[in-house]
Amino acid sequence: MKPETPCIVGIGQTVYTRWNAPLESTELGLGCEAIVAAASDAGMAVRDIDGVTSFGGDGCEPAMVQAALGLTEVRLSAILWGGGGGGSCGAVDLAAMAVMSGQAKAVVAVRSLAQGQTGRYGRYSAKRRHGSFIYPFGLLAAPQLLAMHVARYMHEHGVTQEQLGAFALACREHAQRNPAAVTRGRPLDMETYLSARIIADPLRLYDCCLETNGACAVLVTTWERARDLGAAPVPILSSAHGSSVGWSSGPLGAFNMPLESFATIGAASLANDLYGRAGVKPSDIDVAQIYDNFTGLALMAMEDYGLCPRGEAGAFSASGAIQWPHGALPVNTHGGNLSEAYIHGLNHVVEGVRQMRGTSTCQVGGAELCLVTGGPGPAPTSALILGRV
């Protein structure tokens, strides 16, 4: 391992709750709680953190974090523009670049949500930049917008409702082993999935991610510094964020993606860069944490990242291949956005670290490589490949 290799050395999270559950903290307070937990996990003093990154309009502004936690100095303050949950791995990418370049020594990527205080992500928002073009057509929130995207994908490849359901059921089954999961103790079967109300055809209730409060954080430093800390470092073998040709805001905006890549998440070129930088192939991946705002988009993501051929993710999921412990490629072993919590995808990075440390509640035996992807659809999107020391 090279001394400058970026590593995740600490992970932290708060309790995850329903979006409307009473909160005794603020979005900033939740974020600070997760940061303190990540520093403790790393065996590092909180004051030694000198960089803060995030995405998706987080309320944990570095100046406020510095004041709240007594950080000695802030050398990096960065947030990924646009893309919503597409920036979850991108925030870690920013942290990795900072420590590799020497811009900062220890950078924390944080995401905090207090939807009961700041507004639900699943509802109409008058702040959407392209609203004047899409609202007249009833495209008021993410489920309506992305339902059209999923419908096109299903039409082109013959994907069935039951295949969407297979992905949702796998996530829910994994969540039953995860004490942090909001849906633990509430298993799901195919009959219940198919009988659930339609939110926006073809998306049913359980095709849609949870709406939750909570925060999580990951602390990044170099391998050279990581060796002096207490926790097991997880090397970031590759990280990337960006956008494919012509994608712009994709299906969360004007739907002006190129026709040849319309029924995808527009991440194929990013995936090629990601694997190339790590020097690995999609077939080398042992476990994957795929951003799952909606089941159909998670299937498209699996295809863009080469985990199965184009148009075959539905059948791949229905075959049991993504289920722990016997599947060929377990996916979302914490339950994902669909069944653990919706922390805008940064919780997927936390689970990726656990898999590489060997501490997941659905641990994949002998796993050496974990793919983590950011939100599909909008630009930019992002991804990581994590390794094991």
28 pLDDT higher than 70: yes
pLDDT of the residue at 350: 98
What does the pLDDT look like over 233-253, one tens digit per residue? 999 999 999 988 888 888 887
- The tokens 């089941």 sit on which residue? 295
Closest CA to 364 of 287, 249, 299: 287
Going by pLDDT thresholds of 50, 70 and 90, the confidence category of residue 141 is: confident
What number of helices (H) and strands (E) belong to the chain? 14, 12
Distance of alpha carbon 306 from alpha carbon 329, whole angstroms: 12
The whole domain housing 274 covers: 6-119+210-387
Flag whether 260 is in a domain: yes
Q: Poorest-confidence range of 204-208, 220-224, 245-249?
A: 245-249
CA 378 to chain centre: 13
Beta-strand (E) ranges in the chain? Answer: 6-13, 17-18, 51-55, 76-80, 107-113, 198-200, 203-204, 212-222, 234-242, 287-289, 369-373, 381-387
129 pLDDT higher than 60: no
What whole-number percentage of the chain has pLDDT above 90?
A: 81
Record the pTM: 0.96
pLDDT of the residue at 131: 56
Q: Which of 153, 206, 305, 342 is catalytic?
A: 342
Which H or E run contains 366?
A: none
Using the CB atoms, write b or e for 243-268: b if 16+ within 10 Å.
bbeebbbbbbbebebeeebbbbbbbe
130 pLDDT higher than 80: no
- CATH code, domain with 300: 3.40.47.10
What does the pLDDT look like over 174-193, one tens digit per residue? 999 999 999 999 999 999 99
Q: Which of 121, 206, 291, 305 is catalytic?
A: 291
Flag whether 190 is in a domain: no
Flag whether 327 is in a domain: yes
Going by pLDDT thresholds of 50, 70 and 90, the confidence category of residue 40 is: very high
123 pLDDT higher than 70: no
What's the mean pLDDT in 201-209? 97
pLDDT of the residue at 122: 63
Distance of alpha carbon 131 from alpha carbon 295, whole angstroms: 25
What's the mean pLDDT in 214-228? 96
To the query of whether residue 291 is one of the catalytic residues in this protein, the response is yes
What does the pLDDT look like over 163-172, one tens digit per residue? 999 999 999 9
Flag whether 146 is in a domain: no
Flag whether 333 is in a domain: yes
To the query of whether residue 206 is one of the catalytic residues in this protein, the response is no
Distance of alpha carbon 359 from alpha carbon 367, whole angstroms: 11
What's the mean pLDDT in 119-138? 64
CA 320 to chain centre: 22
Q: Give the three-state DSSP class for 151.
A: helix
Question: What is the total count of domains within the chain?
Answer: 1
pLDDT of the residue at 127: 59
268 pLDDT higher than 70: yes
pLDDT of the residue at 302: 98
Flag whether 129 is in a domain: no
What does the pLDDT look like over 286-334, one tens digit per residue? 999 999 999 999 999 999 999 999 999 999 999 999 999 999 999 999 9
Flag whether 192 is in a domain: no
What's the mean pLDDT in 154-168? 98
What does the pLDDT look like over 332-351, one tens digit per residue? 999 999 999 999 999 999 99
Flag whether 258 is in a domain: yes
What's the mean pLDDT in 258-280? 95
